[in-house]
Amino acid sequence: MTTQTFHALRVLDAYNPIATAKTVVFDVPNILKDTFRWRAGQHITLRFELNGEEVRRSYTVSSSPVSGEKLCITVKRVLGGLVSNYINNNVRAGDEIEIMSPFGGFCLDPDGKKRRTHYFFGAGSGITPLFSMLQSVLLAEPYSYAYLLYGNTSENSIIFQQTLADLVEQYPERCVVRHVLSNRSVLTSFRPWRTGRIDTDAIWSFIEEHPPYAHDAQYYVCGPGNMNTSVKSALQDIDVPVTRIHSENFGGVVEMDNSFEGIAAKTTVILDGQSHEVHVARGQTLLQAMIAVDLNPPYSCQSGICGACRTKLMAGEVHMRARMALEDTEIEQGEILSCQSVAKTDKIAVVFD
Amino acid sequence: MSPIRMMHLLPVEAYTSQEWFEREQELIFSKVWHYAGFAEDIVEPGQYISVQAGLNNIFIVMGRDRRLRAFHNICRHRGTQLLRAVGKSQKAITCPYHDWTYDLEGNLISVPEEDREFPDLDKSCLGLKPASVDRWRGMLWVHPDPNAGSIMEWFGEIEPELGPHQVDKLVEYPQVRTTTEIKANWKIVVENYIDVYHLSHLHSGTLHMYDHAKAKFGFVGPHYVFWEPLSQWYREDIEKNVMMPLLDEIPRNKIGAWVPMLFPGLGLAENESSWSIYYVMPLAPDSTRVETRTKVKNVSSWEFAMQSWRSGSFWTRNTSAKYEGDAKTDSLATGDFMAEDVYVCEQQQKSLQSPYFEIGATAVSGESPVKEHQQIVLAFIEGNQQAK
């Protein structure tokens, strides 16, 4: 299924886990159970009509696919953010929201036979995929270990604080959660593991205090801004092989490579098994060109983060302005993000599968 | 007398011939997860140990990310063993022969006089050959196959049958570490370990604090499991009678001894106050090294001294040697169950030379594990056993 199909899902429940975030629980009818089956770490795209315009946003499913919980997302307010504030202000039980089925390659698929140590490095709302992954490991990978290093600005911005504490109590041998706070309040009894940021020193100390028990160690990173890059380099500095590091960028700024504007190109698009000829104008992205001729390709965030619009380049060359959603190995195999790709050759062919 | 002298299900030559020994090294000891030490043997980046696992010499080293890596201990140049038994290196491993050097990921990073002597060398193809390593139940394990998969495929099913001991929280009692060379085939040593029938007889004065009549035992896959409760007279006043501080994690209704033998040669003795390993390492058809190490509760030596003092008179009253005699020259006069076992293993091995040797009868229940173990050995040798 490549074409984006939205389904209206009813909101079963909506509540505030902390003052600045809202958890929205969806009712998935039986007929859509397979469509909305998700892997820990995947996101869903929500579509709203706000101020007469269609807007889309991707949010990670924060519940674990193996816990029996309902599909839910947890959305933190972003200062000036259109959709996050809309959700926090307005969404309530009984509402219907247009949602596209789960996708995304930043996943952890638990395997009951495997014995691994999963390290999670998260900050702010970057916790949502990690939370789903961590729960899945504890529930469905009984021989594995889950160690979370979790950064927040202050205690009252920690989402899932209580649930995480409960998990540690329930799985004392297999689960570690350590909090790092950048602003530490003196008015609370809560004592974080460290004050400051998840920097190299914090990462190294964390690993030193909690060395891998099982030696198939995997590292998952999800945070805002350049946190992923800095965690990745701190890990590589102590010889963690890059193949063991998995990351997804969340919110914050993405470095854009606007060094090449793009040229006009004749493009063959194979979508849902149909071939289309599309003209990509100079400076236009592949996605923009396809939408302009009323094609219906999959897309979501339009900023290179979510990976919904990925397609395979069969001929020609493109320049990607941002490529956060793709691993290097995927790019080597010809994967591109259509929302970020401008043409470098005058003939291009892509296939959505 | 049958033309082939048998030891239950195996021919006597399985216990005496070099050919059988070599087949077992290849088909059993090179095919399964192999004990390599205690987790606390490697705690810092750069530390390493090497272990002989069947035909393979494998070393484990900890990287700066505190993850263990295992490699075959063979220089890719001319095959020299790189590392000796234990030690600590810095960031690199250098072969003593020609100074070829590898990083802790196994990559070949330096070759002396490379430009002149090896103008076309592709170093990236000459990294150390990886093996598998993991930590389970406080112990390090290696497997020669880098794609051995999860160690839990080998041990997962047996785990529920083991003691509730929290091995990682116990501490080693190094003074009681022993290494013994037994002049007997490794299977004789293992068969002695899993022979339930002999417990009340050979060890009548040394292991009678356990109630052998209530023992429960059997096999889970290739692994032997065993549990028996404490004898009533010892259990009654266990707080006073126990020689070392009691382990709290063992529920009172399960208190006793778990004594499994993990195939092919790692015995455990998990009891009310200690946790020990009994590592069986074949050296030759008629020679086996057994190493024991013991862990106990992590409390002060003062508490150990107090407990020993409290229980002292009980043990003086209740320990006795199999026979009276000079403990210096007669194992059976020592009152030490390990010495008793070594003695009978060596005596049995001696008899295998005799053309008159035969097994007269086998205890239906108490010696059934011996036959079952032989069956498992046979299955490996004949290639019917799925090893991992």
A79 near B CB under 8 A: no
**Residue A287 in this model has a pLDDT that exceeds 90:** yes
> Across residues B334-361, what is the average pLDDT?
93
**Residue B62: its pLDDT value, please?**
94
Domain range enclosing A333: 265-351
> Across residues B276-284, what is the average pLDDT?
98
The structural domain count of chain A equals: 3
Whether residue A239 sits in one domain with residue A139: yes
**Residue B10 within a domain:** no
End-of-domain residue from the set A249, A278, A304: A249
Q: What is the mean pLDDT of chain B?
A: 93
Counting one residue from chain A and one from chain B, the pairs whose CB atoms sit within 8 A come to 50
**Residue B352 in this model has a pLDDT that exceeds 80:** yes
In this prediction, residue B40 has a pLDDT band, given cuts at 50, 70 and 90, of very high
End-of-domain residue from the set A249, A281, A312: A249
Whether residue B41 sits in one domain with residue B88: yes
Q: Which of residues 119-158 of A touch B (CB under 8 A)?
A: 143
Q: What is the CATH number of the domain that holds A282?
A: 3.10.20.30
Whether residue B169 sits in one domain with residue B58: no
Structure-token match 């899993």, residue found: B194
Of the candidates A103, A117, A132, A119, the one whose C-alpha atom is nearest the C-alpha of residue A177 is A119
Q: Which of A111, A141, A239, A244 to mutate to probe the B interface, most B CBs <10 Å?
A: A239
Say if residues A250 and A126 touch (Cβ distance below 8 Å). yes
**Residue B89 within a domain:** yes
B150 near A CB under 8 A: yes
Whether residue B169 sits in one domain with residue B118: no
In this prediction, residue A54 has a pLDDT band, given cuts at 50, 70 and 90, of confident
Distance from B133 to chain A by nearest Cα, in Å?
Answer: 7
> Across residues B109-121, what is the average pLDDT?
92
Whether residue A92 sits in one domain with residue A11: yes
Whether residue B211 sits in one domain with residue B357: yes
**Residue B284: its pLDDT value, please?**
97
Q: Which of A111, A113, A114, A115 to mutate to probe the B interface, most B CBs <10 Å?
A: A115
**Residue A260 within a domain:** no
**Residue A90 within a domain:** yes
**Residue A208 within a domain:** yes
Q: Of residues A4 and A34, which shows the higher confidence score? A: A34
Q: Mind listing the pLDDT tens digit for each residue in B283-308? A: 999 999 999 999 999 999 999 999 99
Q: Mind listing the pLDDT tens digit for each residue in B136-172? A: 999 999 999 999 999 999 999 999 999 999 999 999 9
**Residue B58: its pLDDT value, please?**
96
Q: Mind listing the pLDDT tens digit for each residue in A143-166? A: 999 999 999 999 989 999 999 999
Whether residue B39 sits in one domain with residue B184: no
End-of-domain residue from the set A182, A217, A249: A249
Of B105, B134, B152, the CB nearest to A239: B105
A94 near B CB under 8 A: no
**Residue A306: its pLDDT value, please?**
77
Q: What is the CATH number of the domain that holds B253?
A: 3.90.380.10
> How far apart, in whole angstroms, are the C-alpha atoms of residue B70 and residue B144?
9
The structural domain count of chain B equals: 2
Whether residue A149 sits in one domain with residue A202: yes
**Residue B236: its pLDDT value, please?**
92
**Residue B245 in this model has a pLDDT that exceeds 90:** yes
**Residue A20 within a domain:** yes
Whether residue B222 sits in one domain with residue B99: no
> How far apart, in whole angstroms, are the C-alpha atoms of residue B295 and residue B176?
9
| Shortest CA distance from A217: residue in chain B | B67
Chain A residues touching residue B136 (CB < 8 angstroms): 115
Q: Mind listing the pLDDT tens digit for each residue in A210-255? A: 999 988 999 999 988 788 889 999 999 998 988 899 988 665 444 5
Whether residue B200 sits in one domain with residue B120: no
CB contact under 8 A, B134 and A238: no
A231 near B CB under 8 A: no
Whether residue B199 sits in one domain with residue B60: no
Whether residue B344 sits in one domain with residue B250: yes
CB-based burial of residue A111 (10 Å sphere; 0-12 exposed, 13-18 middle, 19+ buried)? middle
**Residue B385: its pLDDT value, please?**
64
Distance from B372 to chain A by nearest Cα, in Å?
Answer: 27
Whether residue A302 sits in one domain with residue A244: no
> Across residues A58-80, what is the average pLDDT?
93
One-letter amino acid of A5: T
**Residue A1: its pLDDT value, please?**
42
Whether residue A321 sits in one domain with residue A212: no
Chain B residues touching residue A205 (CB < 8 angstroms): none
**Residue B84: its pLDDT value, please?**
78
Whether residue B200 sits in one domain with residue B63: no
Whether residue A336 sits in one domain with residue A218: no
Q: Mind listing the pLDDT tens digit for each residue in A327-353? A: 777 888 899 999 999 999 999 999 998
CB contact under 8 A, B64 and A238: yes
**Residue A273 within a domain:** yes
Q: Mind listing the pLDDT tens digit for each residue in B51-100? A: 999 999 999 999 999 999 999 999 999 999 888 777 777 678 888 899 99
In this prediction, residue A57 has a pLDDT band, given cuts at 50, 70 and 90, of confident
Report the percentage of chain B scoring pLDDT > 70: 98
Q: Of residues A38 and A257, which shows the higher confidence score? A: A38
> Across residues B36-62, what is the average pLDDT?
94
Helices (H), A157-285: 161-170, 200-209, 227-237
Chain A residues touching residue B133 (CB < 8 angstroms): 215
In this prediction, residue A122 has a pLDDT band, given cuts at 50, 70 and 90, of very high
Chain A residues touching residue B103 (CB < 8 angstroms): 239
Report the percentage of chain A scoring pLDDT > 90: 69
In this prediction, residue A2 has a pLDDT band, given cuts at 50, 70 and 90, of very low
Q: Which of B66, B104, B105 to mutate to probe the A interface, most A CBs <10 Å?
A: B66
End-of-domain residue from the set B150, B171, B195: B150
The first and second tokens of residue A163, run together, are 């649930």
Of B66, B135, B150, the CB nearest to A208: B66
Whether residue B50 sits in one domain with residue B137: yes
Of A114, A213, A235, the CB nearest to B150: A114
**Residue B1 in this model has a pLDDT that exceeds 70:** no
3-class DSSP assignment, residue B79:
coil
Q: Mind listing the pLDDT tens digit for each residue in B191-225? A: 999 999 999 999 888 899 999 999 999 999 999 99
Whether residue A122 sits in one domain with residue A99: no
Whether residue A194 sits in one domain with residue A94: no
**Residue B327 in this model has a pLDDT that exceeds 70:** yes
Residue B269, beta-bridge partner list: B276
Predicted ipTM? 0.85
- Which residues have a Cβ under 8 Å from the Cβ of A187 and sit 6 or more positions away? none
Of B104, B134, B153, the CB nearest to A214: B134
Whether residue A271 sits in one domain with residue A223: no
**Residue A269 within a domain:** yes
Q: What is the CATH number of the domain that holds A10?
A: 2.40.30.10
Whether residue A137 sits in one domain with residue A90: no
> Across residues A122-131, what is the average pLDDT?
94
Domain range enclosing B43: 34-150
Q: Of residues A302 and B54, which shows the higher confidence score? A: B54
CB-based burial of residue A261 (10 Å sphere; 0-12 exposed, 13-18 middle, 19+ buried)? exposed
Q: Mind listing the pLDDT tens digit for each residue in A157-215? A: 999 999 999 999 999 999 999 999 998 777 778 889 999 999 999 999 999 999 999 88
**Residue A254 within a domain:** no
Whether residue A29 sits in one domain with residue A135: no
**Residue A283 within a domain:** yes
**Residue B217 within a domain:** yes
**Residue A58: its pLDDT value, please?**
87
End-of-domain residue from the set B133, B150, B167: B150
In this prediction, residue A256 has a pLDDT band, given cuts at 50, 70 and 90, of low
> Across residues B249-275, what is the average pLDDT?
96
Whether residue A227 sits in one domain with residue A141: yes
B169 near A CB under 8 A: no
**Residue B122 in this model has a pLDDT that exceeds 50:** yes
Of the candidates B336, B334, B332, B358, the one whose C-alpha atom is nearest the C-alpha of residue B346 is B332
| Rg for chain B, CA atoms, rounded | 23
Q: Mind listing the pLDDT tens digit for each residue in A258-273? A: 788 889 999 999 998 8
Whether residue B163 sits in one domain with residue B121: no
End-of-domain residue from the set B134, B150, B166: B150
Q: Which of B61, B67, B143 to mutate to probe the A interface, most A CBs <10 Å?
A: B67
Helices (H), chain B: 18-24, 114-117, 152-155, 186-193, 232-235, 238-241, 301-318, 337-351, 368-381
Quick one: how many helices (H) and strands (E) in chain A?
7, 19
